[in-house]
Structure formats: C-alpha cells, structure tokens
Amino acid sequence: MTKYTADKFELRLATTENGLDAAPALSSWESVDITVGHGRQKVPVGINSRLQEVYETLLDYSGSCSGWYDETAAGGSSDILTAFGMFQQAALTPLYMELKNKVTGTKERYKKIKGDPSRTIDSPDGFSMWSVDFDFEDISKS
C-alpha cells in the first residue's frame, strides 16, 4: 500500500470551478479535513417490531483547513482570510477548492464552499495562523 505525505498534495482555491485549473497552489496550508455525513437515521420496520432499517436523509458536506498566514493572493482575493470573507458583511462568495495528489494526478473538488474564517497569533514566539471551518454543496473526484 502506497502512503502519501502532505508534500505530495497541492491545495488550490478559486471563485469558480473552471478557475481551479489556473489557480496557483497555496503555499501556506498545513492541514485539510473533509467529512461527508450520509444522514442516516434508524427507523422502525413496523408496529410492535423491534427490527429497524436505515433511512437516508440529506448529505452533509463539511470540512476545515488551516495554515500559516501570509499575504499571498488566494481565491481571487489579496489573501486567504479575505477570500473566505473575514472582512465582509455582505453575503459570502462561494469558493471552490481542489486537493490534488501530485503523484497520481487524482483531484478532489469541493464546490460552493462557505465558511467561518479565523486567525490565531500565539505570543510571544508563535506564528500567525489561519483556519476555516466550512460547509460545501458538492464533491467530485477525477
């Protein structure tokens, strides 16, 4: 079984799915976590039955990512925090994210991301970090 370290992946961010093809790889990311919830519920088979069946409800796509903060352009904005809407009061712009395995060429795309950005600075010797907890509407793999 082949194992891949984080340096074998590229993370890209854009305001459109087609924009991912030309978007530069983010240089400051540290971690990405993606969760797909299949919305399962157990429901009874019938009256006076102890049996149950699994009923599927809505899919729940969510994730988080983090990294070292720098003022490099990302997602069509001046920096990663601006791209995720940290400094705006209007409706969020949906973003598109791609995680690419540089060895195999496999790409995972997370579509129409909206999230909650945050910034952390640990004193006195800490680095400025960013993180985003987000939800998204669709996922694909190619």
Q: What is the pLDDT of residues 34-79, one digit of tens each?
A: 999 999 999 999 888 899 999 999 999 999 999 998 888 888 888 9
pLDDT of amino acid 60: 96
pTM equals 0.88
pLDDT of amino acid 123: 72
Q: What is the pLDDT of residues 115-137, one digit of tens each?
A: 999 999 887 777 899 999 999 99
Q: What is the pLDDT of residues 78-116, one digit of tens each?
A: 899 999 999 999 999 999 999 999 999 999 999 999 999
CA 6/CA 78 separation, integer angstroms: 25
C-alpha Rg value of the chain to the nearest Å? 19
